[in-house]
Amino acid sequence: MNQHRVSAPLSGTVVAVADVGTLVRAGRAIVIIESMKMQHDVMCDFDVVVESTHVFPGDTVHEGALLAVASIVSSAPTDTPEQDELSTVERSDLREVLDRRLLGSDGARAESTARRHSLGRRTARENISDLVDDGTFVEYGPLVLAAQRRRRSVDDLIARTQSDGLVAGLASVNGELFDDRANRVAVMSYDYAVMAGTQGQQNHRKKDRLFDVIERLRVPVVFFAEGGGGRPGDTDGLGVSGLDCWAFHDFARLSGRVPLVGITGGYCFAGNAAILGCCDVVIACEGSNIGMGGPAMIEGGGLGVHRPEEIGPLAVQTANGVVDLVAIDDEDAVRLAKKYLAFFQGRTSSSRVSDQLALRNLVPENRLKAYDVRTVIDALFDEDSVLELRRDFGKGMVTALARVEGRPVGVIANNPKHLGGAIDSDGADKAARFMQLCNAHGLPLITLVDTPGMMVGPAVEATALVRHCSRLFVTGVNLDIPMMSIVLRKSYGLGAQAMMGGSTKAPLSCVAWPTGEFGGMGLEGAVRLGYRRELEAIEDDVERERTFETMVARMYEVGKAVSVAGHFEIDDVIDPAETRRWLTAILDSAPPVDRTERRHIVDTW
């Protein structure tokens, strides 16, 4: 047998030495040395028998010192466990982690999960699983417990407050459409099964952490915000008011930096509602209640006793503009979130287009006949691509996301079925805020113009119309994104200019359909105002009306699209079927928008 001298690979203190005569298998320790609080095994690559030892436990040795002499028994491969065999060995430390993770699963909370399902709702983890691509979710802080160790046992907290009611992490969404970094998303969800989705000290800290990561990675956020707001029962902190919490500061700071998608169902009050309200888009399930204060806060303020169902019901929050999209249920909410997110993830590779010849007949030849502008939008843009936002608010405006040849764009259109397309305060707010949304995230903007101008009258002035309508000018003039305008019919006065960023020459292209008509104000109003004396001088009512119609017709000839194009106040009058060719010409020519130069917040309103 060959002898082998075993030397110290580093300096340290001997902890253990194999006995003389012991057979030591390859890969097993002959001597153990402790150095800097770490134990190091001194091993051989072959089986040996220890012949003599030169150190004892407690001895201090230096690198290279002789530790033992051994005889080599065999240099052939031994029966040491293979790696796959080792991976099946259950370790206590790993088992503890796996058991803790299991306690946070829906299966470990069968009663609360069943209760959730009985209400037709899904759990937080079920919603996240449906939203993200399989196997891509990486969770932050799943082992965090509620800050209530002074009043509850650790075992109880582990069983009932896993994640402290906030499930959060990074994942991929829409990976089947976008196969690069564009599909990366941060996902966060309050867990209603944990203390009614309330905001505790620890889940505030989790939000702080995630918001910082999100800002550095610049990934979109999907936040399921159902829950009851602040939690007064946490006991482990040293603070008093909790107002030094950074979560709301940090989340609001993300506005304009990354797309923010808020989803809620059931009750969403106080702090949860504040998070929801900061989002670019709010998706709410049927049956939702959203309010800045829940029943306890209202009663505590001396404002009476109210059931949660009476506070901010969905019908109220859609009509007033709080909610952008209404979902049938949790599954539908996730579907809408994925569709919305896709507009900010890039261009799709395929698109289908309806017969563009149909556009020729969607605006009636009779200039006084109303029509549905949504039929124009659906026909003009890629099939099944249109996603309208805030449909029940500011009904004089239609705001939607859509695609042209797979490219995501924003669309603003006047709605002639509401006030004839005149712009009121709500419509102006809706359009201006949508402009901000598109500008913040670099989506080109297309405006479909059919408006007699700003709405007028004592009633509308009581809504602060002067300020609200002026938002369209201030916002539209300062856009960094490409804008294109299509005049479908009426293009009158300040309202038309506001739809075009301030002028017919402000957009990169401004063209009209043959039905287009232009003027400083509506034709009828212009005639009555400009020719008042002449009309009043005609005593016969029939003759006066005939004269009025003749004057209107004459003004229409002057202001119709082909006449205005002849003076080069617009770029062209086009066949409606050629509209997409104009849009793609600009979209193909426009350089990418550099989002690093300026930051644009998205107004919550």
The 10s digit of each residue's pLDDT in 503-515 is 999 999 999 999 9
Farthest CA pair distance, the chain: 135
359, 376 contact by CB (below 8 A): yes
Q: Can you give the pLDDT at residue 218?
A: 94
Coil, strand or helix at 486: strand
Tokens of 493: 């006065």
Which residue has better confidence, 243 or 65? 65
Q: Can you tell me the distance from the alpha carbon of 204 to that of 250, in angstroms, rounded to the nearest whole number?
A: 11
Q: Can you tell me the distance from the alpha carbon of 225 to that of 261, in angstroms, rounded to the nearest whole number?
A: 10
Q: Can you tell me the distance from the alpha carbon of 557 to that of 8, in angstroms, rounded to the nearest whole number?
A: 102
What average pLDDT does the structure give for the chain? Answer: 90
In this prediction, residues 430-450 reach a mean pLDDT of 97
Q: Which of 481, 417, 419 is nearest to 447 (CA)?
A: 481
Of 225-234, 249-258, 308-317, the poorest mean pLDDT is in: 225-234
The CATH T-level fold of domain 3-79 is: OB fold (Dihydrolipoamide Acetyltransferase, E2P) (2.40.50)
Q: Can you give the pLDDT at residue 233?
A: 77
Q: Is 243 exposed, middle or buried (0-12, 13-18, 19+ CB in 10 A)?
A: exposed
Does the pLDDT at position 528 exceed 80? no
Q: Can you give the pLDDT at residue 289?
A: 96
Does the pLDDT at position 225 exceed 90? yes
In this prediction, residues 453-457 reach a mean pLDDT of 91
Does the pLDDT at position 81 exceed 80? no
Q: What is the CATH number of domain 356-516+560-588?
A: 3.90.226.10
In this prediction, residues 435-462 reach a mean pLDDT of 95
User: Could you confirm whether domain 92-342 is CATH 3.90.226.10?
Assistant: yes
Does the pLDDT at position 131 exceed 80? yes
Coil, strand or helix at 457: coil
Q: Can you give the pLDDT at residue 598?
A: 63
Q: Can you give the pLDDT at residue 50?
A: 94
Does the pLDDT at position 82 exceed 60? no
Q: Can you give the pLDDT at residue 30?
A: 95
In this prediction, residues 206-227 reach a mean pLDDT of 95
Q: Can you give the pLDDT at residue 532?
A: 80
Does the pLDDT at position 480 exceed 80? yes
Q: Can you give the pLDDT at residue 80?
A: 53
Coil, strand or helix at 404: strand
314, 264 contact by CB (below 8 A): no
Q: Can you give the pLDDT at residue 274?
A: 94
Give the torsion through C-alpha atoms of 440, 446, 450, 456, to 10 deg: 10
pLDDT band at 23 (very low <50, low <70, confident <90, very high): very high
Q: Can you tell me the distance from the alpha carbon of 263 to that of 201, in angstroms, rounded to the nearest whole number?
A: 22
Which residue has better confidence, 112 or 392? 392
Q: Can you give the pLDDT at residue 75?
A: 65
pLDDT band at 597 (very low <50, low <70, confident <90, very high): low
In this prediction, residues 346-353 reach a mean pLDDT of 89
Which residue has better confidence, 285 or 104? 285
In this prediction, residues 299-308 reach a mean pLDDT of 88
In this prediction, residues 102-118 reach a mean pLDDT of 87
CA 341, 346, 350, 352 dihedral sign is positive
In this prediction, residues 255-267 reach a mean pLDDT of 95
In the chain, % of residues over pLDDT 70: 95
Q: Which of 455, 401, 448, 447 is nearest to 426 (CA)?
A: 455
pTM: 0.87
pLDDT band at 200 (very low <50, low <70, confident <90, very high): confident
Q: Can you give the pLDDT at residue 426?
A: 97
326, 286 contact by CB (below 8 A): yes
Q: Can you give the pLDDT at residue 79?
A: 55
pLDDT band at 542 (very low <50, low <70, confident <90, very high): confident
pLDDT band at 367 (very low <50, low <70, confident <90, very high): confident
